[in-house]
Chain A
């Protein structure tokens, strides 16, 4: 069965303190791995799609990378407005288009 595990559950950083979030996955053939950001009381907001090992994508202070077993979301010099829950999801090969989500990492950036 497809599984997605995110770590750590929660992360507290000082403003400017860079770090990485981890997403480990087990899937019978990967069609895509997705990163979303969710603010309290809101729906997830799409960040990145990664398709194959070695791929990297960047957006402002965020960079997502992908290996055959895990993905990292690197946050460089974070700001308080980066505080949110970051969700990772995978889509497996096959006819179904549903995504399997991890439990998320709750990031807090202190000024």
Chain B
């Protein structure tokens, strides 16, 4: 298996622009997680899905952030409008049995908002 795939790997955008991050989980994994990592706050869970259904979005910072999972092999995280404080590395991860199981992380998307 190719592992968790994320795109783009790097994104530089200007404040106010819409940003869409994409993730393809490992085939057969029923859980998908979106994390954000910064020096100040570390690795934080934003939202996770089980069988394409959002289960816990309490980590989504505000209404500017939204996430969807239209099918078992694809998810998006959208920021609209983006702000400089959104600059971070965004990771997608997937697992078979949720947080009680090994989570496999994608390579991440490094987002810079100018």
Q: Do A and B truly interact?
A: no
Q: Mark B residues whose CB is within 8 Å of A.
A: none
* Chain A residues within CB distance 8 Å of chain B: none
